[in-house]
């Protein structure tokens, strides 16, 4: 029985076995208050009409952009969880390593004017370096930190993963400094393209395109190649897969490499959007992306994509739509709050996610 | 030759080839460690601190230690008791480690690496290569590495009467060199002691004469101890009855605690401040220990309870516009009245925090609690809560506690306040551990479903774990608020939760003395080595990984844990948490290695 399945059955069990109905009261109060904020806030905002259609579209495109990045990172969580049943706590930091190594290439290229002159080639070079770094680091962490815990259940692997996360962050802090470094800001990224009459920034189109292409490639790898089939087999049942002659170690390394590559691409895109890199930058998007993976149904590749997009859109539209309407000052400070509340609500009420039901049932 | 004979031969002296491969491996690993230390900037920092003034810096000492450990590792992994067969592999290992550093030096000279790696400065290059330039300095590094490794192997194989005194002497010199500031402050008191201080120290560190004196004193003492005193002492201990043995052991704990209690008085207010921080972390550690160590609920949002305790104290006592007294009819309270309220508030928040995550287990629980902790921080920091909690500026002007007319302003006074609080909390924690509730916690830690089947009320027991754990953190937070006389949201980051988690893991989960050891090692030590403060989180990360791999039961494990680990049958049960049981069996040696 997996944690996913347990979480699903425990709440009804508590309800029937315990006389402490106040737990249910609190849980229902939580549900209702979140619902009230969502509905009340939306109505309030729409009545006030402070935002026009253009602004909503801006929120939406930004949400889709961020969502596709969350989806890329979430893929790493979900695939590793699929084959290892481990939350790779350090995955957000692996994204950071990609962004950081991309920074050095990007600033070197920008310094020589190459990033402005030949954007496609320059972006490809940046991505290539970022992907190489993040993939290498992902594989190394697997080999050095996670492999010894391959057959260990319980808290030890998770604690080790937390340690890896800190270790990576602090290593980068020591090697490259604690300060925030500014990512180059080429002119072409500031332009916009008119889509159906709305101006959409080129940067956002580029990010979404990069994410879509990588996800398509990943999907093909997982669905069509031999290695992808092996990955799916291991995530169904590692022992049976080993008996069928699949080299489980190799599959796990491959999974980490694939997740690391996606994280590297996401890291570069993330850094170009926010125009900065620092050693701690991977933490928050990492946690949010984990939330997205759970939201989509952990272990499910399409689920991670869906969950990422959903999270990105809710987080981007949410402050204006839900919080402004109930009169909260400076709602954009609470963007992370929305993401975290969504994460917790999912973990509490629907730990098997949107697309995870089939999996949870099978493993129950 | 029969297979058994081959096996025996392998045991006595393993094939040369495998020995050299091992040596290469050891050398590569140690070389990478040294390069890592240089790249992330810890080596340059160590270079700035003298062990012996103008002769050996801490960085040099670290590099020497790496060279020596190459030989030690080779010797430890070889069963042969002779020294001479160890020389060639030690040369290889030390040479390879030195060679990697030499490569780094060459690379630093050839490429402008500093533009990317900020720590690889010309100063580092100069100190790495002894100012000789990369090629000649590199050759020196290789030779030094090889000879140090041989020395290390020789020391490991030397008779005990020589090895122990040498190790003790070196260790004492390093301790006296590294903690010179602290030791000098402590020695400044009396006339004779001060004179002694002046003879072995300058204000920058140990003098050569001082180092020699300490080395010979320490190694002489160790020589006498191993040669004449240890045997009889051990014999006398063995002859004691079990009850007496237990008394002797608890006497050791009492002495340890007494030293801790009296240290700040002797060593002054800086140590007082460090010890007080250690005390706060011990308090929090005991709280998290109830949740993680006993009940198995991995809580990464623990800092939220600490924040509640601090903020509750602040708004009840502070002399600021955010205090309750300034905009409601509630009068401004004294610290002693506010502290219990703060603890109560933490308990309430702990229970409220626990209710939603009751049904969440294991990994998901860790992430959910971390999310809850982050929510608390985001809310406290936001403009939404600013009218009440002061936003990013926090709440200022919290008065120090007063006892009668006496203000507890000095860190040493607050240390004793922390100590008293810790003592009370430790008593509660100790009684809880052995209570019915404590056993119920351990039952749900080991298997929630079985525990429920045996009649443990999961809801009640889990909420009590969150609530009581929060009480400890709230108490710590309340003292923290008066220590700083102000509270800011930036003091309550996830790092604090990780810090507390790391210390109970290093000390030993579920073990009260372990919490103390962990707090001393992870909070006290980095605080004393102040210039390495920025590396403390690196140290925590590494400690988490290494402890989980090497010693999952912690430095001072609880009695139950130790019993479980020693006992073969208990080991399987422990594998659930610790992962020692299911470690795969070592792979059989390669065929070619066993051929003589």
User: Which chain B residues contact residue A168 at CB under 8 A?
Assistant: 541
- C-beta of residue A352 within 8 angstroms of C-beta of residue A359: yes
pLDDT at B223 over 80: yes
pLDDT band at A356 (very low <50, low <70, confident <90, very high): low
Across the range A274-282, mean pLDDT stands at 87
Q: A174–B577: do the CB atoms touch at under 8 Å?
A: no
Q: How many CB atoms lie within 10 A of CB B251?
A: 10
Q: Name the strand (E) or helix (H) holding B20.
A: helix B16-39
A155 touches B296 (CB < 8 A)? yes
Residue B212 has pLDDT above 60, yes or no: yes
Q: What is the distance between the alpha carbons of residues A348 and B414, in angstroms, rounded to a whole number?
A: 41
From the centroid of its chain, how far is CA B475?
23
* Nearest in space to A295 (alpha carbons), one of A315, A319, A323, A266: A315
Distance CA B335, CA B314 (A): 9
pLDDT of amino acid B577: 45
- Cβ of A347 and B578 within 8 Å? no
From the list B293, B277, B286, the residue with the least C-alpha distance to B513 is B286
A337, B379: Cβ pair inside 8 Å? yes
The answer to whether A109 touches A122, Cβ cutoff 8 Å, is: yes
Per-residue 3-state assignment (H helix, E strand, C coil) for B310-363: HHHHHHHHCCCCCCHHHHCCCCCCCHHHHHHHHHHHHHHHHHHHHCCCCCCCHH
CB pairs under 8 A between A and B: 208
Q: Find where tokens 């990994």 sit.
A: B363
Residue B564: pLDDT band with limits 50, 70, 90:
low
Q: Please give the helix or strand (H or E) that residue A6 lies within, else none.
A: helix A3-17
CB A73 within 8 A of CB A352: no
Secondary structure of residue B301 in the 3-state scheme:
coil
User: What chain B residue is nearest to A336 in terms of C-alpha separation?
Assistant: B378
Q: Per-residue pLDDT averaged across B478-502, rounded?
A: 86
Confidence of residue B589 (pLDDT cuts 50, 70, 90): very low
A24 touches chain B (CB under 8 A): no
Stated pTM of the model: 0.83
Q: Rounded to an integer, what distance in angstroms lies between the CA atom of residue B136 and that of residue B151?
A: 22
How far A56 CA lies from chain B's nearest CA (Å)? 23
Contact assignment for A333 to B583 by CB distance below 8 Å: no
Chain A interface, best mutation among B367, B377, B587, by max A CB count within 10 A: B367
Q: How far apart are CA B29 and CA B42, in angstroms?
A: 17
Interchain CB distance below 8 Å, B545 and A160: yes
Structure tokens at B286: 């005991």
Domain positions in chain A are 50-182+191-349
B534: which chain A residues are within 8 Å (Cβ-Cβ)?
A: 173-174, 178
Residue A358: pLDDT band with limits 50, 70, 90: low
Interface of A with B in 264-323 (CB under 8 A): 283, 287, 290-291, 294
The yes-or-no verdict on residue A345 having pLDDT over 70 is: yes
Phi–psi pair at B395, nearest 5 degrees: -115, 130
What length does chain A have? Answer: 364
Cβ–Cβ under 8 Å, residues A7 and A345: no
Scan residues 53-92 of A and list those with Cβ closer than 8 Å to B: 86-87
Average pLDDT, chain B: 80
- The rounded percent of chain A whose pLDDT value lies above 70 is 90
Provide the pLDDT for residue B560: 65
Please say whether the beta carbons of A266 and A210 come within 8 A: no
By the 8 A CB rule, do A251 and A234 touch?
Answer: yes
* Nearest by Cα to B442 from B510, B543, B354, B343: B510
Residue B357 backbone phi and psi in degrees, to 5: -100, 15
Calculate what percentage of chain B has a pLDDT beyond 70. 90
pLDDT digits (tens, 9 = 90+) for B59-103: 888 888 888 888 888 888 777 777 777 888 888 888 888 888 888
- Comparing A270-279, B146-155, B383-392, the range with the smallest average pLDDT is B383-392
- Report the run of H or E that residue B82 belongs to, with start and end: none
- Window from A166-180, B187-201, B510-524 with minimum mean pLDDT: B187-201
Q: What is the pLDDT of residue B466?
A: 92
User: What order of strands is seen across the sheet that includes strand B50-52?
Assistant: B56-57, B50-52, B205-206, B201-202
**Interchain pair A174, B40: CB under 8 A:** yes
The answer, yes or no, to whether residue A135 has pLDDT greater than 90, is yes
Q: Is the pLDDT reported for residue B581 higher than 60?
A: no
3-state secondary structure of A337: helix
> What pLDDT digit, counting tens, does each position of A210-244 carry?
888 988 888 888 888 999 889 888 888 888 888 98
Kindly state the average pLDDT of the residues B555-561: 71
Question: A residues 225-264 near B, CB within 8 Å?
Answer: none
User: Are the beta carbons of B272 and B412 closer than 8 angstroms?
Assistant: yes
Alpha-carbon distance of B304 to B377, in angstroms, equals: 7
Do B356 and A344 count as a contact with CB atoms less than 8 A apart?
Answer: yes
Q: Which of A111, A146, A159 would best serve as a mutation to test chain B binding (most B beta carbons within 10 A)?
A: A159
Residue A154 clears pLDDT 80, i.e. is over it: no
Helix (H) or strand (E) holding B52: strand B50-52
Is the CA virtual torsion B43, B48, B51, B52 positive or negative? positive
pLDDT of residue B580: 40
**Partner-chain contact B383 A333, CB within 8 Å:** yes
Across residues B31-52, what is the average pLDDT? 84
| Mean pLDDT value of segment B479-500 | 85
Instruction: Write out pLDDT tens, residues B324-360.
Output: 777 777 777 788 888 899 999 999 999 988 888 887 8
Q: Would you call A97 an interface residue with chain B, using a CB distance cutoff of 8 Å? A: no
Residue A11's pLDDT band (cuts 50, 70, 90): low
Which residues face B22 on adjacent strands? Answer: none
Which residue do the tokens 């491996």 mark? Answer: B25
Q: How far apart are CA B398 and CA B487, in angstroms?
A: 9
- The ipTM of this complex is 0.83
Name the CATH architecture for the domain at A50-182+191-349: Orthogonal Bundle (1.10)
Nearest-CB residue to A340 (from B374, B381, B537): B374
Instruction: Closest CB to B117: pick one of A14, A168, A175.
Output: A175
pLDDT at A131: 93
The residue of A154, A171, A294 whose CB has the most chain B CBs within 10 angstroms, and thus the best one to mutate to test that interface, is: A154
Place of tokens 């020196």: B140
Give the residue-averaged pLDDT of A347-361: 68
* Measured CA angle at A359 (ends A356, A360), to 5 deg: 85
Confidence of residue B579 (pLDDT cuts 50, 70, 90): very low
Helix and strand counts by DSSP (H, E) for chain B: 30, 6
Residue of B384, B452, B575 with shortest CB distance to A152: B575
Asked if B545 and A20 come within 8 Å (Cβ–Cβ), the reply is no
Q: Which residue ranges make up each domain of chain B?
A: 12-157, 162-239, 267-494
Residues 6+ apart with CB under 8 A from A75: A215, A218, A258, A259, A262, A293, A301, A304, A305
Buried b (16+ CB within 10 A) or exposed e, B276-296: bbbbbbbbbbbbbbbbbbbbb
Cβ-Cβ contacts under 8 Å, A344 against chain B? 356-357, 368, 371-372, 375
């Amino acid at each position: 029985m997996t944690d996913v399945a347990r979480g699903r059955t425990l709440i009804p069990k508590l309800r029937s076995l315990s006389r402490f109905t106040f737990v249910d009261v609190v849980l229902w109060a939580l549900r209702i208050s979140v619902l009230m904020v969502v509905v009340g806030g939306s109505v309030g905002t729409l009545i006030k009409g402070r935002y026009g259609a253009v602004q909503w579209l801006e929120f939406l495109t930004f949400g889709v952009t961020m969502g596709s990045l969350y989806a890329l990172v979430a893929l790493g969580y979900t695939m590793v969880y699929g084959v290892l049943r481990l939350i790779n706590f350090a995955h957000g930091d692996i994204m950071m390593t990609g962004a950081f190594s991309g920074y050095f290439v990007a600033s070197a290229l920008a310094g020589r004017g190459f990033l402005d002159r030949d954007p496609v080639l320059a972006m490809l070079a940046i991505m290539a370096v970022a992907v190489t770094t993040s993939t290498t680091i992902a594989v190394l962490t697997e080999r050095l930190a996670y492999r010894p815990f391959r057959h260990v259940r319980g808290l030890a692997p998770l604690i080790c993963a937390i340690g890896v996360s800190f270790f990576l962050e602090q290593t980068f802090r020591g090697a490259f400094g604690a300060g925030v470094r500014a990512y180059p800001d080429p002119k072409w990224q500031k332009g916009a393209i008119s889509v159906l009459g709305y101006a959409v920034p080129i940067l956002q189109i580029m990010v979404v395109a990069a994410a879509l292409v990588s996800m398509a490639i990943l999907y093909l790898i997982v669905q069509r190649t031999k290695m992808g089939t092996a990955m799916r087999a291991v995530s169904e049942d590692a022992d049976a897969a080993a008996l069928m002659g699949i080299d489980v170690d190799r599959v796990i390394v491959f999974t980490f490499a694939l997740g690391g590559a996606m994280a590297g691409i996401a890291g570069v895109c993330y850094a170009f959007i926010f125009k900065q890199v620092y050693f701690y930058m991977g933490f928050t998007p990492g946690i949010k992306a984990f939330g997205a993976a759970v939201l989509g149904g952990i272990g499910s590749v399409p689920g991670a994509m869906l969950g990422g997009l959903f999270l990105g859109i809710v987080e981007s539209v949410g402050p204006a739509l839900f919080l402004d309407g109930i009169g909260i000052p400076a709602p954009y400070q609470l963007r992370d709050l929305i993401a975290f509340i969504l994460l917790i609500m999912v973990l509490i009420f629907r730990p098997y996610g949107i697309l995870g039901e089939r999996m949870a049932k099978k493993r129950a | 030759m029969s297979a058994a004979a081959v096996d025996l031969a392998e045991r006595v002296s393993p094939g040369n080839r495998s020995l050299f491969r091992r040596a290469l491996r050891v050398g590569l690993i140690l070389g990478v460690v040294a390069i890592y230390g240089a790249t992330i900037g810890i080596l340059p920092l160590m270079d700035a601190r003298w062990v012996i003034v103008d002769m050996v810096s801490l960085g040099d000492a670290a590099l020497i230690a790496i060279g020596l450990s190459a030989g030690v590792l080779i010797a430890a992994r070889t069963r042969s008791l002779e020294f001479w067969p160890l020389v060639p592999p030690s040369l290889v290992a030390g040479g390879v480690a030195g060679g990697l550093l030499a490569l780094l030096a060459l690379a630093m000279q050839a490429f402008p690496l500093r533009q990317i790696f900020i720590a690889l400065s010309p100063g580092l290059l100069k100190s790495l290569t002894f100012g000789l330039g990369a090629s000649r300095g590199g050759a020196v590094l290789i030779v030094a590495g090889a000879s140090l490794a041989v020395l290390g192997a020789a020391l490991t194989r030397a008779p005990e009467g020589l090895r122990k005194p040498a190790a003790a002497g070196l260790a004492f010199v390093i301790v006296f060199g590294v903690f010179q500031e602290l030791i000098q402050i402590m020695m400044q008191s009396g006339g004779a002691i001060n004179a002694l201080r002046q003879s072995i120290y300058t204000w920058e560190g140990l003098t050569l004469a001082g180092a020699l004196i300490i080395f010979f004193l320490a190694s002489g003492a160790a020589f006498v101890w191993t040669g004449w005193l240890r045997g009889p002492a051990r014999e006398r201990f063995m002859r004691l009855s079990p009850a007496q043995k237990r008394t002797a052991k608890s006497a050791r704990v009492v002495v340890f605690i007494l030293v801790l209690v009296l240290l700040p008085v002797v060593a002054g207010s800086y140590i007082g401040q460090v010890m007080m921080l250690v005390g706060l972390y011990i308090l929090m550690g005991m709280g998290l220990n109830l949740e993680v160590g006993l009940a198995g609920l991995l809580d990464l949002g623990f800092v939220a309870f600490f924040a509640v305790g601090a903020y509750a104290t602040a708004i009840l006592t502070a002399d600021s516009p955010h205090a309750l007294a300034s905009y409601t009819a509630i009068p401004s309270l004294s610290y002693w009245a506010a502290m219990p309220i703060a603890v109560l508030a933490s308990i309430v928040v702990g229970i409220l925090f626990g209710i939603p995550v009751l049904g969440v287990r294991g990994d998901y629980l860790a992430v959910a609690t971390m999310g809850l902790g982050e929510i608390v921080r985001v809310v406290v920091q936001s403009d939404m809560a600013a009218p009440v909690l002061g936003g990013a500026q926090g709440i200022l002007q919290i008065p120090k506690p007063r006892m009668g007319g006496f203000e507890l302003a000095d860190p040493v006074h607050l240390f004793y306040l922390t100590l008293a609080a810790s003592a009370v909390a430790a008593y509660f924690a100790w009684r809880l551990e052995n209570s019915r509730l404590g056993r119920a916690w351990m039952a749900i830690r080991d298997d929630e479903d079985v525990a429920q089947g045996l009649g443990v009320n999961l809801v009640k027991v889990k909420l009590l774990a969150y609530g009581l754990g929060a009480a400890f953190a709230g108490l710590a937070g309340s003292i923290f608020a008066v220590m700083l006389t102000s509270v800011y949201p930036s003091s309550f980051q996830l790092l604090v939760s990780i810090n507390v988690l790391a210390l109970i893991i290093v000390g030993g989960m579920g073990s009260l003395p372990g919490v103390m050891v962990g707090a001393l090692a992870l909070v006290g030590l980095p605080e004393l080595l102040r210039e390495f403060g920025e590396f403390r989180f690196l140290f925590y990360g590494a400690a988490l990984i290494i402890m989980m791999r090497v010693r999952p039961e912690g430095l001072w494990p609880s009695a139950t844990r130790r019993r479980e680990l020693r006992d073969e049958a208990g080991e399987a049960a422990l594998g659930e948490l610790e992962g020692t049981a299911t470690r795969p069996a070592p792979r059989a040696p390669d065929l070619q290695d066993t051929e003589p």
